[in-house]
Amino acid sequence: MSSVLRAEHLTRRLPGAVPVTLVDDVSLEVQRGEFICIMGPSGSGKSSLLYLLGLLDRPDSGKVWLADKDTSACDDNQLAAMRLAKLGFVFQFHFLLAEFTVAQNVLLPMQRLGLRDGSAAAEHALGLLDRLGIADQAHKFPSQLSGGQRQRAALARALANDPLLILADEPTGNLDSAATQNVRQLLRSLADGGQTVIAVTHDHEFAKAADRVLGLVDGRQVVGWRP
């Protein structure tokens, strides 16, 4: 079976008088429908690794294959096109556009990709919001939603382009425990439905919900890491 994502020997350093190694020789293979958490102490390189896996940054050595395509030979425009077409991102801050309604925010990625025509796109957006339990918020603006609702809207937007892989960086970092549990369960149920998910988190409960935990300490992956 071909993998959704494969990373081999990723290393990322920051040059300088005292070079800093953010990610140190990390390898990972992810299959369709897997829910993987990246965990570890603050400053251990979790976000840096996620940016490499999400093609937002390039490794100094090592390679990332997305759906069997070697991304190391791609130029910046090709990487941007792959991110738009194949990846969905969720960050700690929702980054929804304040002047657009929730439904319009979810529509935007489909419009940019020309994925569906007007009514089919609108129907798909409403379907995603319904799946995430916020269909009744579709015509509100982000400022009118609770933190948990905003994060579910951000997840709906990340799903709008039918991504091969969702990458989430501390998706519950700003949420209370009830909203955190809700987002965690949503990610689990998305994976159960075949959606592949990689999430960086400090929330130990994620380790129980995930299929696998990639533990990082000082940028290196630690076999058998437990929160």
What is the C-alpha separation between 21 and 169, in angstroms, rounded? Answer: 20
Comparing CB distances to ligand ATP, the nearer of 131 and 202 is 202
**Amino acid present at 18:** V
For 19, the 3-state DSSP assignment is coil
**Alpha-helical regions (H) of 72-219:** 76-86, 102-113, 118-131, 147-159, 177-192, 204-209
Closest distance to ligand ATP from the beta carbon of 99 (Å): 29
Comparing CB distances to ligand ATP, the nearer of 47 and 195 is 47
Comparing CB distances to ligand ATP, the nearer of 44 and 104 is 44
Binders of ligand ATP: how many residues, by CB under 6 A?
11
* Under 8 Å between Cβ of 198 and 36: yes
Comparing CB distances to ligand ATP, the nearer of 42 and 143 is 42
Instruction: Find the binding residues for ligand ATP in span 15-74 (CB under 6 A).
Output: 20, 22, 40, 42-48
Across-strand partners of 216?
221
For 224, the 3-state DSSP assignment is coil
Closest distance to ligand ATP from the beta carbon of 168 (Å): 12
The answer to the question of residue 97 lying near ligand ATP (CB under 6 A) is no
Closest distance to ligand ATP from the beta carbon of 133 (Å): 28
Closest distance to ligand ATP from the beta carbon of 166 (Å): 18
Q: Report how far apart, in Å, the C-alpha atoms of 200 and of each of 31, 139, 213 are.
A: 17, 30, 10
Binding footprint of ligand ATP on the chain (CB under 6 A): 14, 20, 22, 40, 42-48
